[in-house]
A = this chain, B = another copy of it.
């Protein structure tokens, strides 16, 4: 391995000078071009590469961020990670250490500690829908580095967070169906304890009022936590159909629920959207190639990730300047993405 001392020896300057030149430090400005050129050349010739790990003790900068996701095979997580990596590339110099806790709450704390042991300068963590705000605070209370939570609004400092305006998302979805002329609309909501599901429902109620739409309790069903959302969407939709409640549209908790609903509808001989329109939530990649392509509400996950990183880097800068760190919260507007699973109510039904 070629060290900075090897370079220094080879070009006849001290390690200090070499360090200055190779890091473009402000001290390097006072060095003559000839020196710099010489240093750089010998470094190049020797194939010198600075050891990024050992920089940290003196500089106090590991240039590593920790990212904790709850399921790396979940499209929601990977889209956020995509955004994270984009922001990191633009910021330059920082890398992420990505950890998957595989939906195992106990691992969260354990892995957070592991990342801290590895001297990450900050932590960005994706909240899954069933972890509560106070739990997160409890777990993260003695973490010394800045933290940003993605996907859940954290109201208490010092945690910052970035999330989607779920209420607006719910409203957007219902508004779309109303504007198409639907009045008999079924709702497959998320499990009762899910924060985001509650927020979405709030938006739906508000929007229903705006359109003078009466919500029929018989057309409102809730997923259970134990089921997969796809299975749940399928089962609940089948039940709705069996009960013979007529409806011309269905608003699902998320895209997977919507996929399950479509399967149930088709099996019952109901075409989508000819017999029933279906709207999802999230806009996972599979929506665009589903059969039919799914109308849904996009959470713009990549922006969640990239802006989350920007917030985190900002917090890290503040922490360095000993500014006190207040928690801040960003709420992104969701976007309605209209595809082929929604249409005006047909004649059938």
Q: Which of A133-141, A215-223, A254-262 contacts B (4 or more CB under 8 A)?
A: A254-262
CB pair A73 B78 closer than 8 Å: yes
A259 to B288, CA, bound (A): 10
A97 to B50, CA, bound (A): 18
Instruction: Name the residue among A62, A78, A96, A230 with the largest chain B CB count within 10 angstroms.
Output: A78
CB pair B119 A52 closer than 8 Å: yes
CB pair B62 A53 closer than 8 Å: yes
Does chain B have a CB within 8 A of A29? no
User: How extensive is the interface on chain A, given as a class?
Assistant: 35 or more
Nearest chain B CB to A126 CB, angstrom units: 14
Q: Which residues of chain B are within 8 angstroms of A62 by Cβ–Cβ distance? A: 53
Give A50's nearest chain B residue, CB to CB. B117
Q: Which residues of chain B are within 8 angstroms of A297 by Cβ–Cβ distance? A: none
Q: Which of B73, B102, B262, B285 contacts A291 (CB 8 A)?
A: B262
Q: Which residues of chain B are within 8 angstroms of A73 by Cβ–Cβ distance? A: 75, 78-79, 81-82, 285
What secondary structure prevails in chain A residues at the interface with B?
helix
Nearest chain B CB to A281 CB, angstrom units: 15
B-facing residues in A259-284 (Cβ within 8 Å): 259-260, 262-263, 266
CB pair A49 B113 closer than 8 Å: yes
Q: Which residues of chain B are within 8 angstroms of A56 by Cβ–Cβ distance? A: 53-54
Nearest chain B CB to A92 CB, angstrom units: 10
A211 to B37, CA, bound (A): 70
Q: Which residues of chain B are within 8 angstroms of A256 by Cβ–Cβ distance? A: 289
Nearest chain B CB to A304 CB, angstrom units: 14
Q: Which residues of chain B are within 8 angstroms of A49 by Cβ–Cβ distance? A: 113, 116-117
Contact with B along A100-113 (1 / 0, CB 8 A): 10100000000001
Q: Which residues of chain B are within 8 angstroms of A75 by Cβ–Cβ distance? A: 73, 75
A interface residues (Cβ-Cβ under 8 A, vs B): 49-54, 56-57, 62, 72-73, 75, 78-79, 81-82, 85, 95-100, 102, 113-114, 116-119, 230, 256, 259-260, 262-263, 266, 285-286, 288-291
Q: List 30 A-B contacts (CB under 8 A).
A: A49-B113, A49-B116, A49-B117, A50-B117, A51-B117, A52-B117, A52-B118, A52-B119, A53-B54, A53-B57, A54-B56, A54-B57, A72-B85, A73-B75, A73-B285, A75-B75, A78-B78, A81-B100, A82-B100, A82-B102, A95-B99, A96-B97, A97-B97, A230-B288, A230-B289, A259-B289, A263-B289, A266-B291, A286-B286, A290-B290
